[in-house]
Amino acid sequence: MSGGTAKSDRAEALLRRRPTIGMQELNEVTSVCVRKLGMAWREVVQFLERVR
């Protein structure tokens, strides 16, 4: 279980650095959310706003 904690700590440290994400990646995430996960557009927009 300590490996999970280490991964979580690492992820949080990376996010604190405020990384950037490209438009292509955002488009791919949107496609997966809508086509594979069946999310409504409203849900996708809410998710992307949190990412932004």
**Mind listing the pLDDT tens digit for each residue in 8-25?**
999 899 889 988 888 999
Give me the number of domains the chain comprises: 1
39, 33 contact by CB (below 8 A):
yes
Domain encompassing residue 34: 21-51
Check residue 29 and give its pLDDT.
94
31, 47 contact by CB (below 8 A):
no
Check residue 39 and give its pLDDT.
97
* Backbone dihedral angles phi then psi of residue 6, each to the nearest 5 degrees: -65, -40
In a domain, 6, yes or no: no
In a domain, 10, yes or no: no
21, 51 contact by CB (below 8 A):
yes
